[in-house]
Structure formats: structure tokens, C-alpha cells
Structure 1
């Protein structure tokens, strides 16, 4: 029997089980995954490692331990996982699917934190192992929990970065550790009981902070590839990351060869997603052209032979340098016979799976879409030894996790397991979801997602909830979110419209790049056009009781809207970690962002910063506004929230400030997130006339159901 929430509320959203991507076994019959839950009754989190039988869709608990993470297959039965220990140490643990607990044994304990573990079988039967962790300047494992604490709290810097995302930087840096596992007498051990630093003796750091992970490196029987920032240029002003190769034969080399750079003439931006072919000789990866544009278009590249690092080919290369595929490839998966590459990329508010020939010379046509379940793909894995079957993890506007199997040769898919029974557990359905297209500010069309209440009555009118995304190079997708979930607002009694205006990804580079140097221009006019389209065409939407909300660049746009005519169309506004003044953009950490988007530095092109400054228009501010900001947001410092709140209060405009001292650009802690949702919903409901409701008594906490 499927449990169903009586109402989809913030409590239901935040207590619903959260599943990691599924990792299929080598034979393609089972999949490992993590599931975590949070209880507002006990105020505690729980975590499990589970195994899914792909044929039946049934799952079994293997490990129940909050300290366990990253289950990784060693064979069709055995798996390795990480376990956090006291004093910042990490244990490598092996267990069995068929004999859980009975076969469990500890492989080694590493006296530091490690993560992003990967394994690959070697010809001698051993397993190559690689993971990431912190290292001291001299290349030794760094453990902040056991480091001697200084008597002074002073931090002194002479170069950038000073701080990044939510952390003040230290001398320690990310590195990749490698080693080898061997099995004797039915138990695994770490050869030499040691891990080795692949980046030792260099100034390189990988994964690339702050968001780099397992996608920044890969291993095979021939060695290790990874991406790292160019240490010779300023990391705060440039996005240049190179691909490096370290040849390894046994993964027990105590003095590894120096990393060798892979040359890509004409492309000098981010290098991303390196993946070895199954034969270990070829590497597919992506790289951007611009070294100061974090959202430039990634180009799909192939290194045909790791012994010839200067010989790299670009897929769909054109004479003008723009490339023949106007889409942004992200994840890469090789087919079992290495003849095909499967990719993920955005298109029209969804992340889809695509396929192409793995040889650029034979990939004459641009990739074709592979049929998958509705929504957006979040992870992609090869299923067993098949050259066409894929294990797909996805989500949608109504479902927080779905595992499915796609057969690319037949263009078919089948759902294996949906965490919410495709929305039924939450009381949601696809019938609530829609989309619209409308004419933008120029000769182009703009797309918007629409979500209606589950009890929608076409004969009634519902106030408009207008969501503005961040980035600005980003997009609303048919995917799940625990931070900005359209269904949460819809279930309060709104029709949610989430437009993807100029600057949005997934609609071609012309629309995305159109925001450069025009932050308050075309994007704002697109939003005006969206509002007018809704007003004229969606008869069930009450635009007289509209509210608008946005975060990051969306928060910038809320502040910009406040000072412009569109701001008078809304009863209330919500700005989360937004930009108050573009003149303050140099208080951020990644300076390449304002340099690109405002077409120069503030000292060389101050006019561009001033032109799109919301603070220039505070005389026009009049709409009630909620300000939310966090002190650990080093991308947009807390003063960007305090300044607009002070102005709203001084002008006598109804306003409220909600500040989180322990959150960064995102509100991630469950208890804080619950407060965030309650404050936001109470604010917009008050001014739109929607009756405020106590979600804690109307929703139900949801146990795991597979």
C-alpha cells in the first residue's frame, strides 16, 4: 500500500527519504544506493546503504549507519564503503550483499578525511583505488581535527583566494590519493597499508574547489586523469583548468610520475568530466573556450591515446570556433564496446540523455536524444556489459528520485523504482504540470514551467507565484528541489510560473549569452513579457494578487524589479541572498564572474556596473519585501541583505529580515530550511490573501517505501 501525504508541505518535503544515484553491479542485476531521512520529532538524521534488485524493484537494507557513505562495487556481491571515524579519520570497509555483516571487515583506517572513492580492476586481479582528501603544503594528509590549534585567530593573506564559497582558505589543498586493494583469505587489504599523493611535489589541486568531486578525475588500468586549475594564473580571476594524466601500472608506485598536461589549443576554460574508455587508452572529456566565463559552452573532446597527449580531437568542430552542437554536454558514459558515448545535456527545461559515435571523425551528425522517463536525468551509468542499456537516476517536478533502465538501441525505458511512486506519495501528479512559450523582448521565444495546485479547479482563480531563477546562467527544470520546489508553493494555493528568460541555459548559447553586459535589460523585459502573457492567456491566474520570489541572481532581479514598473504588479517580494548593488560585486570571491558578466573590471568599466545597479533606483521601492541572507555566503556577503533591509525599513515599507549565521548561499540544514519555508510562505500568503496554514499538522512524515 502506498502511503500518501494529506498535503504536500515543507515538513513532508524535508522529511521525505532522499536517495543517492543508483550504482549498478558489474552484472547489471543489482544497484547500490544511499538513503537518508531527517525527523523533526527526534531532530536527527538517519542513513542506510541499500541494494536494489533491478528486476523486481525491491530493495534491502545492507548497512544502517550515519557514518557510512559512498558504497562502491568490487564484484557482483562485494562492495566497499567509507566510514567516518573519531578524530577525523576514515575507515575503508568491505561488506557483502549476500552475507551482510557476516562478511564485513575493515580494510584500512586512514588518519584523515577522504571521499569521492573510485575503483578499477587491474590485470593482476588487484583493484586500483583513488579518492580525494586534503593535503598539507608538503604533501602529507591533512586532518583539521587533529591539527595543533594556533593561539591567535588571525588570518593573513598575500594572494587570492582569501575565502571561497563558505570557507576561509588555509594552506591545505585538495589532492587525489591512490592505492591498491588485494584479496587474500577472503578479505581485502590495502597494499602497503598506504595511500599515495598523485599531486605530491606539484602546486596542483584536485578536485577543484568548492564543488569538484568524483567527476573531476577517473582511473583505469593505465593510470589516472584529473582536472586542476592552472597554478600559474590567478584562480580568482580566471577559470582555466587543465586535464592531466599520471601513468600508473600498479597503483603502488611510491614516487608517481609527474602529472602531464593534455594540450587543447584554442580552448583554455574549464576542463571537466574526464572518463576513460574501458580499454584504458582513450579519454573523453569536455572543455570550455573562454578562461573567464564559468558558464561557457563545454566542447566534447577525445584524447585517442594517453601516450600522445598532444593529439586531441573536438566533436562537431566548425571553422568559426562556435561548434556544431549548440548544447552543453555534462556527464559522459562509454558503451561497453567503447563505440558510443552517452551524454547528459539540458534542453528546454530538462536534462536529457544523448548518444553519439565515440570517434569524432564518425560522429558526423549531432547527438540524438535517448528516450528516458519524464523529468531530468541526474546520473547515468552503464548497465552491466550491455552496449545500449543504461541505469538512469532522475527526478521531476513531482518525484524526488526515480531509477529506470533505458535501452538506447530500442529507444525504450522501464521504471525500476520511484521513491514517491511517481508523485503519489506526495499527493502530486503530472496533471498539475504544464509549460508555456511566449515572445521575449526580441525575436525569440521564452519558455516557462507552470505548476498548478493538486486540487486545481479550472473555474477558479489562483494568485500567481512568480519564481525567478539564479545563476544567472541557469534554468528552472522539470526536476526536484528541496530548496526551491514549485509544488510547495502550488500546494499553498498558487499557480506557479517559473520562466527561463535571457541568460538561461538549455536554450542555445545565443539566449544564454544575451545577458552579458545586460543584467537588467533583456532578462527584465522577458519577465515583463511573461507576466503579460500570463495575464492575457491564463484565465485561471489572478495577477492582481501576484507575488515574486528569487535567489542569487533571482534576488538581484527582485531588487531590480522593486525599482521598476513590474515591481508595482506584485503584492509582495522575496529576495534570498540577492545582489543589492552591482558596485559591491568585487566583495565576492570568484572575480572572473563580474569581470565576464559586466564586461571588464570595476576600475576599467565602472559604467557597466553602475548601469545595472538596483541601488540606483531605491527611490522607487514601494512593495513589501522579505529579505533572507546568510552570514557564510561569501559569494554575496551579508551586507547585500542588510543594505536593502535598512532602506526598506527607513522608507517605512513593510519588510522583514531573516538571517542564518550558519548557512552559505544555500539553506541546507533541515531545521533552518523549515524556518525558511515557514517564513517565506507566511510572508507571501499574508499579502496575496492565501490563508496561512500550519503545515506541521497537515502533512505526514514519510518512511522509506520501495
Structure 2
């Protein structure tokens, strides 16, 4: 029997691996395996595996979700986050196995466990209201409807995925491993995120926006907190967004990531080192025109909290990820500002974990045939060993369409990178329809990583074309900045140039059957395309933007995003916002368009899709609106599994009807 391609329902079969943590002795790795249950619900469990074993073993059991595992420095205990008590709290379990023990009972839960060097205490993150303390009781009181009225005087009062923000702030707390509360480490009306402990355990690092008006500053600084004196020292200059601070093993320096916002959110992330003896900071990547982070997009749930710029055991260099030309690779950065690719390849390395006491580094990797697996990399021999094959058994029964990468010259001679996938069952001499995919951001990057959505389209008989137009990360600072103030200009032309290149290069494409789709910024661009050209026979716009004027007030980021990205403010230049709005040109739409939008999307609120839909339908043109309940901006990546499948089926059904 011939193999079939990957379909939408195969989402229920995937295993998603993330957050690998190598043991202090370098012999074992613990990680999170997320899968979808028979009830079509996500379930995350901890798994463990030795580096000489070919089998991953379940480490936690039950119906809870267990995440964020962290080894104690002595290797005897693992702390992790679990909702088994009803809300996320910190639990510990012996590394050799046994019963898990809950060590936090905080009213608002806890996350992000970080061990002290002596393995006796854990630094955790919790949220606290103005009058709350660590020992505030969790009273389950039935509130009257009037008590649920939401009042705010802030402009950033909501966030996609969180809804209306509670009047609480993220703080750090120190807990003994037996559960005894030691102290609250941070305070004030600010949100704090932890770095790590100093080697002597007397200090911790954190980063926070402690400006009087945090919603206007958009900055964050790195702080050293003295645990005994209960004093904090700011080591950055309040001129940018800095995060992920880490003490070096010898305690003499601190690394951190960030940028000075020269190009707002289009600024490349850099790696910095602060010298505690001299008080001087240097940017170790200042001569490297590469973003020091994984910016690759996929729909496999590989997004994890960045490890930061991680020190080697000698405190002489840093390990860090870099995204360039569709690849995320592992690099080393020396204190002499020399950058070396340690582990490359045509793939996405989305997480890594080195060990101070061993030569191994654990890599989490996605590539065109691997949704996500773990590998052991030897720093000395440069040899790589695959540890897991989380999806190998069922993928062996499937035909996978392998992307072919290409480069072409755009209208202004810029070099643009893209990929094309043939439909499953491809036969020479036959013609096939093509779907053009456009990523969100726009400051993100399509990569060599695995994309379920693209495989579903290929299985349905479509070729898939995707590129990194100007505005994408991965091609230097000038390239990523080129879209700001010019949405729908060079980026739009890059996409049309890519289609022209594909039609000239790949004879199997049916010139009369080309579709287009994209989400978020890609949804904006899909709307822009159908209002500016009729060359596409069908379109599917997802979580899109149609009206920048209303976006300003309804999006959780609108009040600053318009100024940063369009270089126009509603208060100063509303005409420019309207000029960039696809809704202004909606009378020119002739392409049949499917509008997919989530009810609870606060990043690109559903009114953006509604406006576009009503304006098209009022003209008696072909359009369909599909609204997904209880879903936010991340439906395609982390939404309800049944709705993710429904979304894919709606998309492929529309293309089947109109392509």
C-alpha cells in the first residue's frame, strides 16, 4: 500500500519535545514531552534519558501538566512546575525517581524554579497584588457580578493570551527545599524575571522595567540583588531592553541579551558581558550582523524561554543561538568578540543545554523531516548523536514533502531566500496549484524547521511557496529594518517577485491556480495583496489586520506598534495609517477570500477581520468568515487541538473550492 502524506488529523499524533536540561554530571537529560490525549487535550510530562540510551522514559505520571524541570546542582533532586494541586506550583522529586513533593503553596501559584548553588533553596516566580504577601491565604470567595467590573487607568491593561491583566506583579521569592518560605526577594509595582544565582549563593540576578511609567518606557534593566542586604544594583543604563542575565561560573562577570532599541522591535538582539570588577559592559556581538536568538517560526510548539548567553565552564566564552539565512545554529562568542559556529546545518536549533562538568551539549532540533528531537553534541570531537525519535514510528508510514531552498533577485536587486515544496504524489509532466504562505511578525524568519501546516497543504495536492521578504530576521540589521514605515511596499513586491521566479523556474506550477495565505502580519499582507492585485485565484487571511486606525486602540500593542512599525501615530498622522490600511482599498477586492479569526485574539482583535468581511460582503463579493471560540492569537500553534484541525480543514476546503 502506498504511503500517504501528513493530514490535519495527524496533529493528534505528534509528540512535541522541549526544554531539555542536561544533568550536572552530563550523563542524563530531562525534558518535557507534550502530546494530545484521546480527549484532544494537551498533556505535558517529564521524560528522562541517559546519553547512552536510545529510549526515553517517563519520569512523571498522572493527569497533571508537568513542565520546567531543573536539576539541583548536586544532581540529586529535580524541581519542576505542576498543576496537579489545581494551579501551577513548584514540586520536587528525587532524581532517581520516587514520590513528588509540593514545596510551594502560594496563593497565585509559582513558576520558573532556580536552584541555589548549595541545592538547599529554590528561587521561584510568583505574582502578588499590592496588599498580598507570600503567605496570603487563597480564599475561594464567590464574587458578585459587580465585583467583577474591571477598572483601569493604564493603557496596557490587556494582553493576548492573558486577557484583562490583573492588578498584580511578578516577583521573586526564596523557598527552602522543604517548602519553608525564606523571603520575598523583589517588591514594588514592577514585573521581575529571574536570571540565576551567583556561585557563592549570596546574590541573584533579575531583569525588570522599574520606570515610573513602565508602559511608556518599553525598557528593561538588569539588576544584581544582594540577598542578605536586600539591596539591588542596576548594571545597565536604562537605554534598551535587556534580559536573560547569567553569572559566569567564576562569579567575575555577567552575560545578558538585549538591544538598545535603535530600530525599535526591529533591532537585532545582541550578547553583552558586564565585568563586576571594572563595572564596564561590552557587546561581544557588536561586529556580528546576526540576531542572537532563535527567531524561526514553526507550528510545532518549540517556543521555549531562551537560555540566554550561557557561559562555558572556564568563564571565557559564551554559547548562544543565532538565526541567519533560514537556519538557527549554535555559536560561541569569546570575550575577544570572536564568533564561531559550533554546530550548524540546515535546521532550527530551538533549545540547548550544556554541562559545566562534561563535554556534551544537548540540542533540541527541528528540520524538514523532524518535528523536534534531542541530540547530544560533543564540544571537542564535534560529533553528534541522536537521542530521541519522538515521531519516527508513525512518520515512517507517511510521505513527507521536502522543501527545496532557492534565492532570487528581487525588484531592487536584493537577494531573497525562499523554499518551495512539491505536492505529495508529484508526477513529472503534470500541473499543480500553488499556495503562497506569508509569515507573521514581520520580524521573524521562515526556516528549515518542520511545518505541519505546509505538509497538510502538500498532502492535499498543493505546492507550497514561502519566503523571507524584507522585514524578516536572519539577513542583517538593514534587511530587517527595511519594512518599517513601508508596509505593503518592498515586502509586497518581494512576494510578487517570488511568485514570478517560481513560475519561471518550476514548470509544474499551474499559472492559473495560485492561492495565498498568512497570519498576523502575514494576514495584513494577504489583505494587502487582494486589495492591490487580482493575480491570486483564492486567499485565506488569518488573525489579520485591515484597519490600522482602529488597531491603534483595540490591539494590546496597537498604541506603540503603529509608531514603531508604520512610523505613524493616530494622534499625529492618521492619514498615513489609513493609507497603509487594506480596508481603504477594499473596493478593489475580486479574489474569493476566507477570513479566519479567533474570538479572544487581543493582538489582532477580531474586529479587524469583521470590518474586512462586512466591506467585502456589502459589495456582494465572495467571502466567508470563520470565528474560533475561546481562542487567541496563537490558535495555529498552541490552540485547542480540535480547533487547530478545524482551521486547517477550513483552509484546505477553501482552496479546494476556488483553486
Question: By the TM > 0.5 criterion, same fold?
Answer: yes
1:681 and 1:449 mapped to 2: Cα distance? 20
Deviation per CA, 1:249-296, whole angstroms, max 9, x where unpaired? xxxx5xx613321133xx722112212212233211122112781231
Question: How does 1:166-181 map onto structure 2 within 5 Å?
Answer: 166=161, 167-181=163-177
For the Cα contact (< 8 Å) 2:527–2:582, is it kept in 1? yes
For the Cα contact (< 8 Å) 1:47–1:64, is it kept in 2? no
2:584 and 2:95 mapped to 1: Cα distance? 63
2:397 and 2:51 mapped to 1: Cα distance? 24
Q: State whether structure 2 residue 494 is matched by structure 1 residue 494.
A: no
Residue 12 of structure 1 aligns with which residue? 10
Residue 143 of structure 2 aligns with which residue? 149
Residue 131 of structure 1 aligns with which residue? 124
CA shift, 1:345, in A, is 1.2
Question: How does 1:109-124 map onto structure 2 within 5 Å?
Answer: 109-122=105-118
Q: State whether structure 2 residue 442 is matched by structure 1 residue 472.
A: yes
Which one of the candidate residues 634, 638, 649 is aligned to 1:678?
A: 649
CA shift, 1:406, in A, is 2.1
Residue 419 of structure 1 aligns with which residue? 390
Q: Which moved more, 1:143-152 or 1:345-354?
A: 143-152
* C-alpha distance 426-687 of structure 1, shift in aligned 2 (>3 A): farther
Residue 195 of structure 2 aligns with which residue? 217
CA shift, 1:127, in A, is 3.0
Deviation per CA, 1:301-351, whole angstroms, max 9, x where unpaired? 11121x66x4222225xxxxxx42111113322112222211101101121
CA shift, 1:143, in A, is 8.2
Q: State whether structure 2 residue 547 is matched by structure 1 residue 581.
A: yes
Q: State whether structure 2 residue 66 is matched by structure 1 residue 94.
A: no
Residue 380 of structure 1 aligns with which residue? 352
| 3-state SS in 1 of match to 2:309 | strand
1:139 and 1:339 mapped to 2: Cα distance? 43
CA shift, 1:486, in A, is 1.6
Residue 211 of structure 1 aligns with which residue? none
CA shift, 1:161, in A, is 1.4
CA shift, 1:583, in A, is 1.8
Residue 25 of structure 1 aligns with which residue? 23
Question: How does 1:235-274 map onto structure 2 within 5 Å?
Answer: 235=215, 237-248=216-227, 257-264=230-237, 268-274=239-245
Q: Which moved more, 1:644-653 or 1:59-68?
A: 59-68
CA shift, 1:136, in A, is 1.1
TM-score w.r.t. structure 2 length? 0.90
Question: How does 1:608-687 map onto structure 2 within 5 Å?
Answer: 608-667=576-635, 668-687=639-658
Residue 701 of structure 1 aligns with which residue? none
2:492 and 2:561 mapped to 1: Cα distance? 20
Residue 186 of structure 1 aligns with which residue? none
| 3-state SS in 1 of match to 2:583 | helix
TM-score w.r.t. structure 1 length? 0.84
For the Cα contact (< 8 Å) 1:420–1:426, is it kept in 2? no
2:543 and 2:630 mapped to 1: Cα distance? 14
Residue 280 of structure 2 aligns with which residue? 311
| 3-state SS in 2 of match to 1:21 | strand
Residue 429 of structure 2 aligns with which residue? 459
For the Cα contact (< 8 Å) 1:351–1:378, is it kept in 2? yes
| 3-state SS in 1 of match to 2:54 | coil
* C-alpha distance 526-232 of structure 1, shift in aligned 2 (>3 A): same
Which one of the candidate residues 603, 612, 621 is aligned to 2:571?
A: 603
RMSD between superposed Cα atoms in Å:
2.5
Question: How does 1:24-63 map onto structure 2 within 5 Å?
Answer: 24-39=22-37, 41-63=38-60
5+ residue gaps, structure 1, are: 182-188, 208-215, 317-322, 689-706
CA shift, 1:459, in A, is 3.1
For the Cα contact (< 8 Å) 1:446–1:499, is it kept in 2? yes
| 3-state SS in 1 of match to 2:19 | coil
2:264 and 2:255 mapped to 1: Cα distance? 22
| 3-state SS in 2 of match to 1:432 | coil
For the Cα contact (< 8 Å) 2:291–2:474, is it kept in 1? yes
For the Cα contact (< 8 Å) 2:31–2:69, is it kept in 1? yes
CA shift, 1:377, in A, is 0.8
* C-alpha distance 560-127 of structure 1, shift in aligned 2 (>3 A): same
1:144 and 1:533 mapped to 2: Cα distance? 61
| 3-state SS in 2 of match to 1:121 | coil
Q: Which moved more, 1:50-59 or 1:23-32?
A: 50-59
* C-alpha distance 572-407 of structure 1, shift in aligned 2 (>3 A): same
Which one of the candidate residues 403, 426, 431 is aligned to 1:433?
A: 403
* C-alpha distance 543-422 of structure 1, shift in aligned 2 (>3 A): farther
1:669 and 1:72 mapped to 2: Cα distance? 28
1:258 and 1:657 mapped to 2: Cα distance? 55
For the Cα contact (< 8 Å) 1:517–1:608, is it kept in 2? no
CA shift, 1:580, in A, is 0.8
* C-alpha distance 239-440 of structure 1, shift in aligned 2 (>3 A): farther
Residue 183 of structure 2 aligns with which residue? 196
Residue 314 of structure 2 aligns with which residue? 337
How many residues align? The count is 632
